[in-house]
Structure 1
Amino acid sequence: MLRIAIFIGIWAGMAKQLDYHTIREIFSRFQKADPEPKGELEHVNAYTLVVAVALSAQATDVGVNKATRALFKIADTPQKMLDLGEEGLSEHIKTIGLFRQKAKNVIKLSRILVDEYNGEVPNSRAALQSLPGVGRKTANVVLNMWWHYPAQAVDTHIFRVGNRTGICPGKNVDAVERAIEDNVPVDFQHHAHHWLILHGRYTCKARKPLCATCIIRDLCEFEDKNL
């Protein structure tokens, strides 16, 4: 973890902010390669999306999907999750890191949704962030993926790509989020965070970025891309 923190600190401010025309060309290429990028967390409705994203903290999407496929078949609403109970939920998600605390949070947020929102997931960032285990990133994912609001959910992949490339540099996730909102053309805002996540996950990797096959290599400000 310390090494990762050091790397993140080095990346912050590493590349200069790219200009508008370069950023537009980058996202034009992303769009051409993948016109409709999708999040990789499996879900069947807004509620299961909230749960899946909450469970994905410090865990991989693959690992969360393996755990939730069976879970969401029997508990796809807040009330059904409450009926399952904390212990029952824990049995389904015990392969996920921090599963006990996550189970507590999911049960608590399910109770709030039943008692205060008639079992429905609210569609405001403030209301979402008031739920246990739901931070700004989770709220933004739900707003973007379910309600198609151009919210930018900045994770470690986006933070890395934003700072390496110069698309959206910033010293912390809030600064990177603002940089995306300020610098990415509005017609690319809806899918921006998906394109950046997928680029970071499969091409602009943390330790060994695949610069030789990168579709934006000629536009990127990453100093080590030619090594």
Structure 2
Amino acid sequence: MQIHYISEANSVLNHFLGQIRNIHVQKDSMRFRRNIERIGEIMAYELSKDLVYKNVEITTPLGIKKTTEIANELVLCSILRAGLPLHLGFLNYFDAAENGFVSAYRHHHNNGDDFTIKVEYQAVPNIEDKTLLLIDPMLATGHSMVAVFNTLLEKGNPKEIHIAVVIAAPEGVAYLKDQLPDNCHLWVATLDEKLNGKNYIVPGLGDAGDLAYGSKL
């Protein structure tokens, strides 16, 4: 697996990453969503450098201009519900992409710390021979991402696979490296320290879905 750590070079990305972690800024859910969206836009720009381009000619009012445009057939697929603002950021840049949505959650047994991943709702276009971008803000253990990935492969075989996350734990990165094909690309906005005893990312930011859309039962 090829791993890209985007925040290693200072940019406005780190400014937005700081804001989504800040407990005072987090109180504004609209601002949180917008910052996640903007992070998605920055990540889409960085990822776009790795795509395939084709030569085209554009007719202007004064002549012809030779340039390039994306040749990949893109499918954006996010994990509900936390992935929606990040998905929108990618869609702002890859506006011709098809879109898919999958629900996945931790099912805790007997209210304990042990859990399995439940993948349920799926609304996904044809991914056969296309470039799949799998999007989720948080990569903790990596089990949700792998479960969704395996579910999507039941529907077809993409030509290229890119996984984009905002905050990752080392344990999740290691799990993806072990479980996913070598030709996958993992794009990480920032890498955190570790998982705690409940498998939450530290220092992390809390529950991205709750911060974006409110707490759930």
TM range (shorter): under 0.3
More helix by share: 1
More strand by share: 2
| TM-score normalised per structure 2 | 0.26
